[in-house]
């Protein structure tokens, strides 16, 4: 049996695939020890570890970075370059603020160590390490007692011998020290981005490795794999050393799930909306999931491959408040899992988006989590009522205001990922998932001029489902620079083959059959004088250059006659995905279900309330209506029609 587990900020989601049957489950997350919620869910499902394979999406790495809770980490680089991470790119967050808030450096100055060695830009040796360097380094580490060390030397992507020497010295003297070196984490040019990636990997590595080790021991003998930021999985015992690749672990699962559902429904042009309790992730899927090496986590650039998405602090748990100017604001602060929204009855008193939806009747208090958790309507009304009192408006207007502001935040995020990149969202389907997405999907589609939306089957746990559909994978890269036309094809193919051999060896060690591994090569290209690159599939020298010219013209509206420069080579390897098949709806001729009816503020007539599991595929529901299910609720406003496809997905379409 395959079990997908997605640990979110508010809930931990479970999807169990056994044969052709799917079971879903949710429990409240336990941020202090995420494995507690996982073990609770497994007990709730009545499962035994000896009959499971677990695929896990974790927020441990992300939270450690965002909350600055990495371990004490030393940064080791060349003489004179100890301040590179502190100086950064000299980019100002607030361009016109003459007195910006000071930012703490990633690594305190006393933990920035320097080694007197140097490789030139052409790979030549300018200075080397000796025994005196070894003794000095070991004395510094003994005095500073860090838990991890990040090694980042100039041009280590050309010659990694010095980094390997430093690592061996440290491992021999301090066997418990967690060590990351840039030549394995990110062997690419740009020492700042490479240094940040290496430091992040070292800083959060012990936290991630310790958590996965505890989880693996408690789930033994079940094999555990972990979702990576680029959409593939890796064995848990290898994931700790690759912690920087787990920063978008959960969201990547959601995108894999959305793409999988989209293909099943015959849709390949998707805008995705993953709205959970704490944040909302949006992304664009056009056949394949887009990857980027220009992502950010908090204020830090993360140059390792990850799914290309935009994240904002707007979720069901986002807190509404009145700012100093007397205006209503929503987020980014969240009520999280504890105490949670006021309606959870766990001591929360501040109003949230979830409370506003409950006040408006769009959430049914008796149907939350299939009735396993009853929402406190009075507490929600009191929390939102505080906003209404401060603004001197009705309770209903206050709740609608909270929803409208949250919707505008999410609509703007969707515009960033589509309109601002030259993509017309009206040609796409808005795919909504996450526990709160269905309550807002129609309003967001209208805001972008879209007429179609899709709420997948098991939308509230789609990230966990996507993890089951994800293959074992590796994304490898290496800087290889020069005029593209100056390379011979067989030289490039040899270098690409070396990358593939490294990834193939790792996948085979995880038990993947070598014949099942698919390999795809690509190049990062740019015109001479440019700073940024476009990534194109490898098709030979001339065809790849032509493809670059076309891609550049499509993206920027022009092409140049200057030479095309190769910057990095890339290799994507993946094994065969799990063979899961969603069961089809077997209610073709079922008796038409009878809905319940509820009074909602602002509606003269009663609104129909449907249970999703009872819907037949011939049924057509006209808004306003509420569709409840075990892990989510969908709000269908006036002017929208809902149909159910053969897999149980809700197909929403604007009428008129």
Q: Name the pLDDT band for 586 (thresholds 50, 70, 90).
A: low
Q: Round to whole Å and give the CA distance between 123 and 159.
A: 6
User: For 298, which DSSP code?
Assistant: T
Q: Round to whole Å and give the CA distance between 147 and 419.
A: 45
* Average pLDDT in the chain: 91
Question: 282: helix, coil or strand?
Answer: strand
Q: Which CA distances in Å does 445 have to 379, 410, 415, 435? A: 31, 11, 11, 18
User: For 336, which DSSP code?
Assistant: T
Q: Name the pLDDT band for 192 (thresholds 50, 70, 90).
A: very high
Residue 342: half-sphere exposure toward Cβ, Cα within 13 Å:
22
Q: At what angle do helices 462-469 and 249-264 cross, to 10 degrees?
A: 80
Instruction: Inform me whether the pLDDT recorded for 581 exceeds 90.
Output: no
CA end-to-end span of the chain: 46
- Fold match between domain 70-208 and domain 471-574: no
Q: Round to whole Å and give the CA distance between 490 and 513.
A: 27
Nearest of 344, 301, 372, 466 to residue 25 by alpha carbon: 372
Instruction: Inform me whether the pLDDT recorded for 448 exceeds 90.
Output: yes
pLDDT per residue as tens digits for the range 389-432: 999 999 999 999 999 999 999 999 999 999 887 789 999 999 99
63-67, 472-476, 479-483, range with the lowest pLDDT: 63-67
Instruction: Inform me whether the pLDDT recorded for 648 exceeds 70.
Output: yes
Instruction: Inform me whether the pLDDT recorded for 388 exceeds 90.
Output: yes
CATH architecture of 471-574: 2-Layer Sandwich (3.30)
Class of residue 317 by CB neighbours under 10 A (exposed 0-12, middle 13-18, buried 19+): buried
Q: Name the pLDDT band for 102 (thresholds 50, 70, 90).
A: confident
Q: In the chain, what percentage of residues exceed pLDDT 90?
A: 66
Q: Round to whole Å and give the CA distance between 119 and 126.
A: 6
Q: How far is CA 621 from the centre of its chain?
A: 33
34-43, 150-159, 544-553, 588-597, range with the lowest pLDDT: 588-597
Percentages helix, strand, coil for the chain (3-state, rounded to 5) are 35, 25, 35
For residue 169, the surrounding DSSP H or E stretch is helix 161-173
Using DSSP bridges, classify how beta strands 280-286 and 309-312 pair: parallel, antiparallel or unpaired.
antiparallel
Using DSSP bridges, classify how beta strands 148-151 and 178-181 pair: parallel, antiparallel or unpaired.
parallel
Q: How many CB atoms lie within 10 A of CB 645?
A: 16
Confidence (pLDDT) at 295: 87
Q: Which CA distances in Å does 422 have to 72, 207, 284? A: 43, 40, 12
Residue 574 φ/ψ, nearest 5 degrees: -150, 145
Beta-bridge partner residues of 14:
5, 25
137-141, 186-190, 382-386, 510-514, range with the lowest pLDDT: 510-514
Instruction: Name, in order, each residue with C-beta under 8 angstroms of 67's C-beta and a sequence gap of 6 or more.
Output: none
Quote the tokens at residue 533: 């690159």
Quote the Cα angle for 467-469-475, to 5°: 75
Q: Round to whole Å and give the CA distance between 443 and 636.
A: 9
Do 254 and 466 form a contact (C-beta atoms < 8 A)?
yes
Q: Following CA atoms 155, 157, 161, 167 in sequence, which dihedral angle do they give, to the nearest 10 degrees? A: 100
DSSP string, 170-239: HHHH-TT-EEEEHHHH--SS-HHHHHHHHHHHHHHHHHHHHHHHHHHHHHTTS-EEEE-TTS-EEEHHHH
Q: How far is CA 35 from the centre of its chain?
A: 20
Q: Name the pLDDT band for 332 (thresholds 50, 70, 90).
A: confident
Among 2.30.31, 4.10.410, 2.40.10, 3.40.50, name the CATH number for the domain at 70-208.
3.40.50
pLDDT per residue as tens digits for the range 588-647: 545 677 889 999 998 989 999 999 888 888 789 998 999 998 778 999 999 999 999 888
Q: Could you state, in order of their start, the residue ranges of all structural domains in the chain?
A: 70-208, 471-574, 596-654
Q: Round to whole Å and give the CA distance between 542 and 540.
A: 6
Question: 28: helix, coil or strand?
Answer: strand
Using DSSP bridges, classify how beta strands 564-574 and 473-483 pair: parallel, antiparallel or unpaired.
antiparallel
Instruction: Inform me whether the pLDDT recorded for 587 exceeds 60.
Output: no
Quote the tokens at residue 442: 């129609």
Question: 644: helix, coil or strand?
Answer: strand
Rounded to two decimals, the pTM is 0.85
Confidence (pLDDT) at 589: 47
Quote the tokens at residue 592: 């038409």
Confidence (pLDDT) at 370: 66
């Amino acid at each position: 049996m395959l079990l997908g587990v997605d640990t979110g900020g508010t809930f931990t989601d479970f999807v169990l695939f056994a044969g052709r049957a799917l079971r879903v489950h949710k429990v409240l997350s336990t941020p202090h020890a995420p494995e507690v919620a996982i073990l609770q869910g497994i007990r709730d499902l009545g499962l035994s570890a000896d009959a499971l394979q677990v695929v896990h999406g974790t927020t441990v790495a992300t939270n450690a970075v965002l909350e600055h809770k990495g371990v004490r980490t030393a940064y080791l680089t060349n003489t004179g370059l100890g301040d590179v991470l502190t100086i950064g790119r000299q980019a100002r967050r607030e361009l016109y603020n003459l007195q910006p808030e000071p930012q703490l450096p990633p690594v305190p100055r006393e933990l920035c160590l320097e080694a007197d060695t140097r490789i030139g830009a052409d790979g030549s040796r300018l200075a080397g390490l000796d025994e005196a360097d070894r003794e000095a380094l070991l004395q510094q580490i003994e005095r500073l007692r860090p838990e991890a060390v990040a090694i980042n030397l100039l041009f280590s992507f050309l010659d990694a011998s010095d980094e390997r020497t430093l690592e061996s010295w440290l491992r021999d003297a301090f066997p418990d020290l967690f060590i990351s070196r840039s030549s394995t984490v990110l062997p690419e040019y740009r020492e700042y981005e490479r240094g940040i990636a290496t430091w992040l990997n070292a800083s959060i590595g012990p936290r991630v490795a310790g958590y996965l080790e505890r989880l693996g021991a408690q789930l033994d003998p079940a094999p555990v794999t972990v979702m990576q930021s680029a959409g593939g999985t890796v064995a848990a015992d290898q994931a700790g050393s690759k912690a920087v690749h787990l920063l978008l672990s959960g969201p990547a699962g959601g995108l894999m799930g959305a793409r999988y559902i989209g293909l099943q429904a015959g849709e390949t042009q998707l805008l995705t909306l993953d709205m959970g309790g704490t944040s909302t992730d949006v992304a664009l899927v056009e056949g394949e999931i887009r990857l980027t090496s220009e992502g950010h986590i908090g204020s830090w650039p993360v140059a390792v491959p990850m799914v290309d998405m935009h994240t904002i602090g707007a979720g069901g748990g986002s807190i509404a408040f009145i700012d100093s100017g007397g205006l209503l604001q929503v987020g980014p602060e969240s009520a999280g899992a504890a105490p949670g929204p006021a309606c959870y009855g766990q001591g929360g008193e501040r109003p949230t988006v979830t409370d506003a939806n409950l006040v408006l009747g769009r959430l049914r208090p008796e149907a939350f989590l299939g009735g396993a958790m009853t929402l406190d309507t009075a507490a929600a009304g009191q929390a939102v009522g505080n906003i209404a009192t401060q603004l001197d408006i009705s309770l209903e207007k206050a709740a609608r205001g909270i929803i409208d502001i949250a919707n505008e935040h999410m609509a703007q995020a969707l515009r960033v990922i589509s309109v601002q990149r030259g993509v017309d969202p009206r040609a796409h389907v808005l795919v909504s998932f996450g526990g709160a997405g269905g309550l807002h999907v129609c309003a967001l589609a209208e805001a972008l001029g879209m007429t179609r939306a899709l709420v997948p089957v098991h939308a509230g746990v789609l990230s966990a489902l996507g993890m089951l559909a994800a293959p074992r994978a590796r994304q490898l890269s290496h800087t290889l620079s020069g005029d593209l036309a100056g390379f011979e094809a067989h030289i490039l193919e040899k270098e690409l083959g070396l990358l593939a051999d490294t990834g193939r060896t790792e996948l085979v060690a995880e038990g993947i059959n070598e014949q099942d591994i698919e390999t795809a090569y690509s190049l990062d290209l740019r015109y001479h004088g440019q700073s940024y690159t476009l990534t194109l599939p490898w098709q030979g020298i001339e065809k790849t250059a032509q493809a670059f010219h076309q891609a550049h013209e499509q993206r920027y509206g022009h092409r140049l006659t200057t030479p095309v420069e190769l910057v990095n080579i890339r290799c994507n390897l993946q094994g065969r995905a799990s063979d899961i098949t969603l069961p089809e709806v077997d209610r073709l001729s079922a008796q038409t279900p009878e809905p319940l009816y509820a009074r909602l503020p602002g509606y003269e007539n009663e609104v129909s309330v449907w249970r999703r599991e009872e819907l037949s595929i011939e049924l057509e529901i006209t808004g306003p209506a509420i569709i409840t299910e075990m892990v989510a609720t969908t709000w269908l406003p006036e002017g929208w029609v809902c149909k159910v496809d053969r897999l149980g997905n809700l197909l929403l379409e604007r009428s008129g």
